[in-house]
């Protein structure tokens, strides 16, 4: 993307305030973030699709990770399931083929499924999906490629504007788990939260943003 | 349209089978103070349990709300006695604390497990010893003397939050009374009573869930749902009820 285009996109909110870019801007080792605007396919709950938008609105550029790019949202076809998965998988593949690591943000858990298929196609291996809520697998080697699954439904009710259960992890616990995840995290999905779009959603949005920051930084470290 | 609590069908006592529950709303209102709204609790709990899609671990019927015209406390006592005689567990959703008074009066010979910040003299004076859960702050001196003289078991909110949940002996059968004021206002704001440094919601759920006694009746009071826009207070009650009914 040239400088003129960059200036044009300066005012558009992006994840963590990172620069907005295109596929051709990606280089190996970079972290690419993309929004996933779909919440009706796997564990459906209306509103999860707005998480990416909400996180962009809440982002401030002060702590923007240096090696991360916001690619916008992947194209989705939530009413045409086969077309949808095919499209999302191929877009994720295209991103991963550049050598970048990828974070899919928002929506339901169908995004994780598509991301998993894409990573397996690219790496030609049966890549593990590691959930931050299930704890760290002690026998993972540092080079083992993994996909990090961050299900925000596992946050405790106290952090949510519309709690559905009392128990759960705090954002700090989730971040600690993310930071302690061993292995070579090649991709991550953050999903499962339908943020309230008014002031009541401030807490959960801030929590999700801090978790997104931790994921980005963890993938950046892996990339360095 | 509101359905029965936790997906239970609406019905009558005659439809309840032995070893099931009968959920009864008693929407009485607190008669003093600024934090009113307890009368909205039964329907708020039904609505919240419907939204969450939560089911009870036991079968039963929702008996609707008690008509509070006339001498409702007598009607409440009669309903509770009828259910207990039929081996049905009444789950009474208040309402103010006078709802619990009616339930306790109907079953005078049973011990009580009382989750509330301030110990009550009328409960401490019952024939059977009461177990106090989540006491917090200065207690009335005469009630405290009675609790100590009779060596009643008690745990403060802080003790419970710090993991000291073990009660040395639990009665085999008891009444469970949960006044939502036992929860810290910062965690769940929907209570008619203010209780800074009260229990955490998760602690209440785990403390009640760890109790092994067979609940003969359960009564919930003090919930003011409109004061808690997030619904943490309703969620706390719903999870506490499920934890209690899972064991007892």
Domain ranges of chain B: 75-247
Question: Is A162 near chain B, with CB under 8 Å?
Answer: yes
Chosen from B51, B200, B202, B229 to mutate, greatest number of chain A CBs within 10 A: B202
Nearest to B202 among A161, A166, A200 (CB): A166
Point out the residue among A158, A161, A164 whose CB comes nearest to the CB of B187.
Answer: A158
pLDDT of residue A224: 41
Confidence of residue B248 (pLDDT cuts 50, 70, 90): low
Dist CA B135 CA A12 (whole Å) = 52
- Whether A166 sits inside 8 A of B236 (CB atoms) is yes
Q: Find the residue in B nearest to A204 (Cα).
A: B230
Best to test chain B binding among A44, A45, A156, A157 (most B CBs inside 10 Å): A157
Residue-averaged pLDDT of chain B? 94
pLDDT at B42: 97
Is the C-alpha dihedral spanning B58, B62, B68, B70 positive or negative?
A: negative
- Judging contacts by C-beta atoms under 8 Å, the chain A residues touching residue B231 are 162-163
Chain A residues within 8 A of B239 when measuring between CB atoms: 165-166
Does B201 sit within 8 Å of A166, measured CB to CB?
yes
Is A35:A52 a contact under the CB 8 Å cutoff?
Answer: yes
Q: Please give the pLDDT value at position B38.
A: 95
Among the partner residues B52, B229, B236, nearest to A200 by beta-carbon distance: B229
Residue of chain A nearest B187, judged by CA positions: A158
Residue numbers in A near B202 (CB within 8 A): 156, 166-167
Q: Is the pLDDT of residue B92 over 70?
A: yes
- pLDDT confidence of residue A223: 45
Domains recognised in chain A with CATH numbers: 3-223 (3.40.800.10)
Tell me which fold the domain B75-247 belongs to: 3.40.800
Report pLDDT for A142.
77
Contact B235 A162 (CB under 8 A): no
| A156 to chain B: closest CA residue | B202
Over residues B140-165, the pLDDT tens digits come to 999 999 999 999 999 999 999 999 87
How many C-beta atoms lie closer than 10 Å to residue A26's C-beta?
Answer: 22
**Could you tell me if residue B29 is left (phi over 0), alpha (psi between -120 and 50 degrees) or otherwise beta?**
beta
| Element at B233 (helix H, strand E) | helix B232-247
Among the partner-chain residues B187, B230, B236, the one whose CB lies closest to the CB of A162 is B230
Q: Which of A191, A20, A18 is nearest to A115 (CA)?
A: A191
Those residues of chain B whose CB sits closer than 8 Å to some CB in chain A are 52, 187, 201-202, 205, 229-232, 235-236, 239
Chain B residue closest to A162 (CA)?
B230
Query: What confidence tens digit (pLDDT) does each residue in B168-202 have?
Result: 889 999 999 999 999 998 888 899 988 999 999 99
pLDDT at position A47 is: 92
How far apart, in whole angstroms, are the C-alpha atoms of residue A190 and residue A158?
Answer: 19
∠ CA B19-B20-B25 to the nearest 5 degrees?
Answer: 135
Query: If phi over 0 gives left and psi between -120 and 50 gives alpha, with beta otherwise, what is residue A36?
Result: beta
Q: Does A164 touch chain B (CB under 8 A)?
A: yes
CA neighbor of B94 nearest in space, from B144, B137, B14, B39: B39
Q: What ipTM, to 2 d.p.?
A: 0.75
Q: Does A200 touch chain B (CB under 8 A)?
A: yes
Asked if residue B27 lies in contact with residue B211, where contact means CB atoms within 8 angstroms, the answer is: no
A158 close contact with B: CB closer than 8 A: yes
What is the predicted pLDDT for the residue at A199?
A: 76
Contacting residues of B for A201, CB less than 8 Å apart: none
- Low-confidence stretches of chain A (pLDDT < 50) are 223-224
Residue A200 near residue B229 (C-beta atoms within 8 A)? yes
The model's pLDDT over A149-178, given as tens digits with 9 standing for 90+, comes to 999 999 999 899 888 899 999 999 999 999
First to last CA, chain B: 31
Residue B57 has pLDDT above 90, yes or no: yes
């Amino acid at each position: 993307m040239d400088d003129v285009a960059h200036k044009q996109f300066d005012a558009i909110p992006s994840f963590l305030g990172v620069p907005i870019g295109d596929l051709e801007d990606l280089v190996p080792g970079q972290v690419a973030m993309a929004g996933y605007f779909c919440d009706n396919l796997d564990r459906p709950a209306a509103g999860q699709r707005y998480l990416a938008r909400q996180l962009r609105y809440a982002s401030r550029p002060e702590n923007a990770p240096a090696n991360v790019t916001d690619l916008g949202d992947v194209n989705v076809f939530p009413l045409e399931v086969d077309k949808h998965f095919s499209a999302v998988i191929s877009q994720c593949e295209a991103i991963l083929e550049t050598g970048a690591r990828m974070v899919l943000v928002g929506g339901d858990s169908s995004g994780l499924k598509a991301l998993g298929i894409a990573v397996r196609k690219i790496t030609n291996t049966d890549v593990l999906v590691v959930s931050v809520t299930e704890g760290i697998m002690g026998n993972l080697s540092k080079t083992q490629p993994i996909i990090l699954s961050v299900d925000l439904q596992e946050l405790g009710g106290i952090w949510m504007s519309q709690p559905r259960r009392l128990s759960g992890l705090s954002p700090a616990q989730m971040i600690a788990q993310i930071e302690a995840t061993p292995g070579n995290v090649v991709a991550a999905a953050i999903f499962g939260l339908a943020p309230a779009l008014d002031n009541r959603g401030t807490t959960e949005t801030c929590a999700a943003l801090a978790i997104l920051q931790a994921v980005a930084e963890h993938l950046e470290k892996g990339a360095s | 349209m509101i359905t029965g609590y936790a997906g239970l069908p609406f019905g009558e006592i005659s439809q309840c089978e032995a070893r099931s529950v009968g959920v009864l709303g008693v929407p009485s209102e607190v008669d003093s103070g600024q934090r009113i709204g307890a009368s909205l609790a039964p329907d708020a709990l039904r609505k919240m349990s419907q939204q969450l899609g939560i089911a009870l671990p036991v079968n039963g019927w929702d008996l609707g709300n008690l008509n509070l015209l006339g001498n409702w406390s007598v009607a409440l006592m009669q309903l509770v006695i009828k259910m207990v005689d039929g081996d049905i567990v009444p789950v009474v959703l208040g309402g103010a604390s006078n709802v619990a008074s009616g339930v306790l009066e109907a079953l005078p010979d049973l011990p009580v497990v009382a989750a509330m910040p301030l110990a009550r003299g009328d409960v401490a004076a019952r024939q059977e010893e009461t177990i106090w859960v989540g006491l917090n702050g200065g207690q009335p001196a005469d009630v405290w003397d009675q609790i100590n003289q009779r060596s009643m078991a008690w745990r403060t909110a802080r003790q419970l939050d710090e993991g000291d949940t073990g009660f040395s002996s639990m009665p085999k059968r008891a009444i469970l009374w949960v006044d939502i004021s036992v929860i810290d206002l910062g965690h769940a704001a929907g209570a008619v009573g203010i209780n800074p440094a009260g229990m955490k919601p998760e602690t209440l759920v785990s403390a009640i869930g760890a109790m092994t006694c067979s609940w003969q009746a359960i009564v919930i009071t003090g919930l003011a749902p409109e004061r808690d826009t997030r619904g943490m207070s309703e969620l706390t009650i719903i999870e506490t009820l499920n934890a209690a009914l899972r064991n007892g």
